[in-house]
Structure 1
Amino acid sequence: MFDFVRKHNRLFQLILLVLILPSFVALGVNGYSNFMGGGNAAVAQIDGQKITQAEWDNAHRQQSERLRQQMPNLDPKLLDSPEARQQSLDALVRERVLQAAVQRQHWLVSDDQVKHVFLTDPQFAAVRQPDGSLNAALLASQGMSPQMFERRLREGMAQEQVLRGVSGSAIAGSTLSAQAFDAFFQRREVRLLTVSPAEFAAQVKPTDAEVEAYFKDPANVAKFQLPEVAQIEYVVLDLDALKGSVSVSDKELRDYYEQNRARYTVAEERRASHILIKADKSASDADKAKARARAEELLAQVQKAPASFADVARKNSQDEGSASRGGDLDFFPRGAMVKPFEDAAYALKPNEISKVVESDFGFHVIQLTAVRGGDTKPFEAVRAEIDDEVRKSLAQKRYAELSETFSNTVYEQSDSLKPVAEKLKLSIRTASVQRKPAADAQGPLASAKLLESVFSTDSIQNKRNTEAVEFGPSQLVAAHVTDYKPLRMPALDDVKAQVTQLLIARQAAVLAVKAGTEKLAALKASGDVNALEAAQTVSRIQAGKLPPKVLNAILQADAGKLPSFVGVEAGNGSYVIAAVTQILPRDAQVADPVRTAQQYAQAWSAAETDAYYKALKTQLKTTIKPAAAAASAAVGN
């Protein structure tokens, strides 16, 4: 299957050398020096081998493209988030760690193993032809060669062997899983008492000095800091912008109308009723003659009294589908009926009755009851529609011509957008933007790539236009920063009321915790739970409205002697006292024993595998540069 690649390996090397060498010469010493910086900067290192910024960017692009293909409606903002970029880096680091482990541990995958997996694993069915060979054409459509496919498959199998011994080691019996899940799903009866900071707010009177100190505390800076903001001008080149500048003559519109007249013609439909006397096409001549004679009798009858057609059809037609409706077939276009029937129906005038018509079904008597359609909309009725279509078509051609001019002009005359606006007759718009797109942002202002360019050093410090950014199909935008405000602190007087309220809340929370702690000590001493709220049952899957910190404290409380009292700061300034009064078994319906045993084994296996992977990272001296983390975070700032 992969013999051709192996046998011609030297040929492939020669071809690569021929392709790469001229590019290297053209690149020159200066280009090579540039290459060694920027994109070639290390963002991580594994076993002495670095991962470059360019490799990270490429891995993130590939991951983003896979997600777009799987989820076409995915918000593009999510793909440019710091979290998404970090996941791409983590995946790349994991791949390199396993590659290094394969080399150190000398894992080998034989050709027979590769072939067996390829022929038997269902995930490769799409690229496996019926004879078991590789579908090279399909791979090529995805930008992959046979040798790339074999290499990736072999590498993947080798990396899988590194972790297989650990990932398959978990054995979870019913007893172990039952104990684990009994503890996890355990229910507890509890009574609560909440000490709220609101009870103490009136007692708090912070001084001006305390307010100022709270405001200047570095730990509180983020609460009051004003965001980084850029005032920008921007121009958009898209079909809408070009449609308005395209001139279309009346003659062009009328020519288009004539060339596409069929589009503006409503297809004719006819409504008819019929009487059918069945005669299969394979019937004998005698049977056909008998059927025709019967049809002729009925024709004579309805010709004498056309208004009786429906009654005659109900009583005599052998078409079970239409007889009950008086033979009515509703409206039908050309092509819907057998040809002899259609030809006869489209030759009639309304209310006219046909002669006997023979088809493969038998003999018909047809009455045309109505005609609709067949009319062509006049030019004036569709002029606006045609004008829009013609302008859009011309705008698409013009966009292809002007997109390069747009990109070059904003780059070459980078101190202003006026030149490109005047040259292409585009309007200059204004906006106030931050590094992240606003929740309600639309069009170019929702483009993370544009905002990244806006907040670049070149745009802010050097006052240059951004590059032309494609933010949608046939849509380009460029921006220019007219004013920039970095992250900054407001004057205390401007936010004093806000600072005071936050300080009051903090000091009231301190008093609440103090009062709650004293109350907890008294309850522990007395063991009296009557002062607490009515009992309720809680568990990890029935938390109700309890904050996570409170629920965890309740479930971790010592149940050796009941009631068991615990106190915890709820995270919102309140102090919650809980008295565990009873331990209840888990609800048997919560989890199936067989499934829980499987889940327990999977969780155990995943934990062991993760621990082993972390050990490998340490053994291979894996490091992620601080700059990589900063770059990832900067995307979302």
Structure 2
Amino acid sequence: MLSNLKTRKGMFILSGAVLAAATIILLGFNIFKDNAAAKVNGEMISKEELNQVLNDQYGEEVLDSLISEKLIEQEAKNKKITVADSEIKAELKTLQDSYGGADAFEEAMKSSGVSMDRVNKDLKTYILTRKILEPRINITDDEMKTYFEENKTSFEEGEQVKASHILVEDEKTANEIKDKLANGADFAELAKEYSTDTGSKDNGGDLGFFVKGEMVAEFEEAAFSMAVNEISAPIKTDYGYHIIKVVEKKAASEAKFDDHKDEIKETLLSEKMQSEYTTWLEEAKKDAEIKTY
């Protein structure tokens, strides 16, 4: 999943596989003994052989990425552009959410061999790049209105429900929790104590707002048919047994341009940034003194 790690708007960040290769190449294979990268039935594969293969496969791509990164750093320094830790944390949170949360993102990192230090460095580079490019990009109201009209249906909001739930493995436990709730127990506290849903239990089972199509059918059917503050009987799904509490409801609403201006501007900015990045990078390389060996 992280073989080509990207931010929410698609700005390229160095791939985990390429960076792993780069790390090995740049370290010079100091970890190997007796000049051996491996031995097969006593016959040695030398670190020079491995180095040559990695350079042949990844060398040009890695070097080009590092040159681009260096140009971005130099431009940011010249223009006194900086990135605060809070900006990196906010961008990381958005990236984690795009993978389904911090745990899912961490698993994807592990499977791809990408370190958190590398992710933070790439996010910093992305933010610097964005700050460099934004002044070069102009987005007009006419462009935003055109985009809105062409994509209006995607901005329309269907009926929404805000709910909390307690998920357990068996019906007996679910009924015990239901009885405790009937006797005045606090829903959020019971969620923290009993729920097996690690993504919501620490928040008292809060799932936030969702529309039809986001939840499994049995859960969704119950939630949308309930009244505000109503607590369900145990609902069985493939995940186990749910006790659902509906917290709030929002009726379907027609999309309005003014409500989505910031979102549209962000989308158009991201689209333009990708082409503008290519243009800027070509200009930067043309003006720079770059020697490769």
Task: Give the TM-score taking structure 2 as reference length.
Answer: 0.33
Q: Which has the higher contact order (CA 8 A, sep 6+)?
A: 1
